[in-house]
A and B are shown apart, each in its own frame.
Chain A
């Protein structure tokens, strides 16, 4: 009697956007037609977007991967005996051993693509909940101390030490506190938060419960952007299952401690990723940025002390508790400790999510690991850190990927998005877009940002049309200075970054041709 062969086909946005559902359907039909028994598991994605849809077959030699699979190739895969790991042009060998994946250090994304994202049992079988179980035996201050010692810094962009933030919330007395997870992921070129939620939602849940234990909060809120419908569906399902299993609720894992999580949706506003704008939004208001102080850690959601962390920050915590602060801190470079999820995007041959310790060089990541441009044309520039990040020209890619080294180079790592452009890019258009985006997304609270961005667009248009180049160049410089100095938040304050990088490295493209 033959038992069904387990076939893993990702159910994750990028894999689906490249036809994973259609491939699943084709494999099912073909198996039926041939009388082969298959058991299809919808796993998450391992993050090798360039190989998606990546189909894996469980064999005695481990999980053998094939990709990128198209529906048209399915009959040939059956002919080649792929259900037993047979040879085929798309065969990538054992999934774990694909060099692009094997070269990574997966602390946060260890289970992504391996497990069934909706199975808590699978999560536990792969080491899940060990961090929470440890935390349940610890005093709150000890949990905070472990996070501090790990060197973990916020992955949302500002890289603020997480332990210090948690300590403030722990030490602020209040009847009610919140753990707020920032899943707004507005930066273009980034998708790690989405992948984490779609591929391993339990890890975020576990991280939030630990944060709750650490600071004395019983309520968690996840603010998820509306552009991520699949993440919304998967996380909603996971929350329900977590409650059923007693991971969330009045008695977390029988500990007598309470914690629950609510999922709230954004409504398409980039600025709502800024933490105080997000709080306004969660309170049902216009997402206008609040002046600080008070810090959200003292007076945050509905005026209560609130931990606000990015998805990846919270998702790094279970490892730290399970394996120890040192195990995390051992990775990294300088003051950037641990690993981070780099996201290779845009015009790149091997794009996807690449988790590695800080310190790798940008050139290695883009040229060797990413394989250069997808178009095969010369690489022109790389934008790191989202729409407020600088454009780095091809000649200057030898920067180690850590927070301080980037700051020194006049750039920022931000949320780890790396967008590659080939030589067909019009850098003048990219500079103009930075202003356009700021004008579109400004919350309107302060003039340098609200008016400055519109003026910036106009000046750039005149420059690119060749009108009074000297005068307009100076005007642009003054305007950028006003935005940098006078803006309340980083939206207006950092929009000059991409523009200035174009002025510095691609000045010729800001003049009429």
Chain B
């Protein structure tokens, strides 16, 4: 029942093309294709803009416009563990600003940055729907509630060791 990060694989253009092909016939399939690509590789490689444009009969600028509109889409591979700290109000009320500062310091990362060696990426997120157990942090697809600095340190240590807390 434990939810790990979906298993990401290294970017593979052939696999990417088959993912795109799966969504071409779907109404509004571009967003679904982008979501599927990101789920598979952790980001949407810039190399895919041309094939996406061809597949969905759009200009490259249009495809780029869609990708850049949505906050989820990354343009480079994240680390194995993506740590997302909620920045929204319920979490603010329970100390997320301090928690965020602490996380940036212990990870040595600003939002959007990755430490490739440790396989860690730090990102903001705006509400995880866990507002009654704030502050909330999501690592991979697992949400953690009432996270204070000590708990965050444990979660990060577990990521560094490659095991789950």
A-to-B contact residues, CB < 8 Å: 11, 13-14, 16-18, 21, 24, 42, 49-50, 52, 185-191, 193-194, 226-230, 264-270, 281-288, 302, 343-348, 351-353, 374, 383, 387, 417, 419-422, 425, 429-430, 433, 437, 440-441, 443
Contact = CB atoms under 8 A, between A and B. Distances in A.
19 contacts: A11-B1, A14-B145, A18-B133, A186-B127, A265-B31, A265-B32, A265-B35, A267-B38, A282-B28, A282-B31, A283-B28, A284-B30, A287-B70, A345-B93, A346-B91, A346-B92, A348-B132, A353-B132, A417-B90
B93 A421 contact: yes
Contact of A345 (B27, B30, B134): B134
A14 B133 contact: yes
Contacts of A285: 28, 30-31, 66
Contacts of B104: none
A18 B125 CA distance: 19
Contacts, number: 166
A190 B129 contact: yes
B94 A346 contact: yes
Interface stretch (B13-21, B75-83, B114-122, B136-144): B136-144
Nearest to A11: B1
A352 B93 contact: no
Contacts of B71: 267-269
A191 B131 contact: yes
B89 A49 contact: no
A345 B90 contact: yes
Nearest to A421: B93
A346 B127 contact: no
Contacts of B90: 188-189, 345-346, 417, 419
Contact of A52 (B93, B133, B141): B133
Given A21-B2, A186-B126, A419-B93, A267 B132 contact: no
Contacts of A352: 132
Nearest to B136: A17
B88 interface: yes
Q: Which of B56, B134, B141 has the most CB of A within 10 A?
A: B134
B77 to A, nearest CB: 17
A484 B143 CA distance: 36
A348 B141 CA distance: 26
B51 interface: no
Interface in B117-165: 125-134, 136, 138, 141-146
A281 B142 CA distance: 26
A98 B69 CA distance: 46
Given A267-B71, A420-B93, 10 more contacts: A14-B145, A18-B146, A188-B131, A191-B131, A226-B72, A267-B70, A269-B71, A284-B28, A346-B94, A351-B131
Nearest to A192: B129
Contact of A194 (B34, B93, B129): B129
Contacts of B144: 17
Contact of B27 (A188, A267, A283): A283
Nearest to B34: A267
A228 B129 contact: yes
A229 B141 contact: yes
Contacts of A288: 69
Contact of B89 (A42, A188, A264, A281): A188
A383 to B, nearest CB: 6
A188 B31 contact: no
A351 B131 CA distance: 9
A345 B69 contact: no
Contact of A286 (B2, B66, B88): B66
Given A18-B146, A227-B127, A268-B72, A351 B133 contact: yes
Nearest to B127: A188
Nearest to A13: B143
Q: Which of B89, B126, B130, B145 has the most CB of A within 10 A?
A: B89
B46 interface: no
Contacts of A226: 35, 72
Contacts of B141: 229-230
B10 to A, nearest CB: 22
Contacts of A281: 28, 31
Contacts of A230: 3, 141
Nearest to B86: A188
A48 to B, nearest CB: 9
Contact of B145 (A17, A265, A267, A383): A17
A21 B34 contact: no
Contacts of B132: 14, 49-50, 191, 343-345, 348, 351-353
